[in-house]
A and B are shown apart, each in its own frame.
Chain A
Amino acid sequence: NAGVMQNPRHLVRRRGQEARLRCSPMKGHSHVYWYRQLPEEGLKFMVYLQKENIIDESGMPKERFSAEFPKEGPSILRIQQVVRGDSAAYFCASSFGTGYEQYFGPGTRLTVT
């Protein structure tokens, strides 16, 4: 069984560009979560999605950030007009259902120059 996959593993963007982070959940999982780890800080919840639905986006910054989980294909975390403060590790997790154990991907490390 393939685990949770994230790509790219490392992403470098200049200020003002767009960043698109992808997450493919484990086989059989339809629930996806995104977490962010800022340098020297703990992980923080960003958003919880099920197929074609955003369940909870209370941890997402109000501007420039969006997430989707389409019926087909991976979940996408999109950051528009990136700034240096967006530099962080972004982790995706998936689960079989609400309340089930979350399995984490290797993360995408975003660097904004």
Chain B
Amino acid sequence: AQSVAQPEDQVNVAEGNPLTVKCTYSVSGNPYLFWYVQYPNRGLQFLLKYITGDNLVKGSYGFEAEFNKSQTSFHLKKPSALVSDSALYFCAVRAPDSGGYQKVTFGTGTKLQVIP
């Protein structure tokens, strides 16, 4: 069975400081990894994804994430946080299940609070 862990329920960071939101995963086979952001009372918005290739992927709004196969991690990062980055962040993994189809599993979400 596949799983995703976001070990921090909440991350607080001062505006202008770098931020990291952690994600680790467990799958059999090659994972496809995604980050999504959710603003209050809204659906999720896609930020970035890792499918194959360069381990460092860049996405929307200045976010990036590094795929680390040995540590089975896909941490989300941004060099300088903005107050408007405050939101709920979800890590997700897609990997084939026993039926061969790709099923998606989301982490529990991390609330990012950027303090002015």
Query: Do A and B interact with each other, yes or no?
Result: no
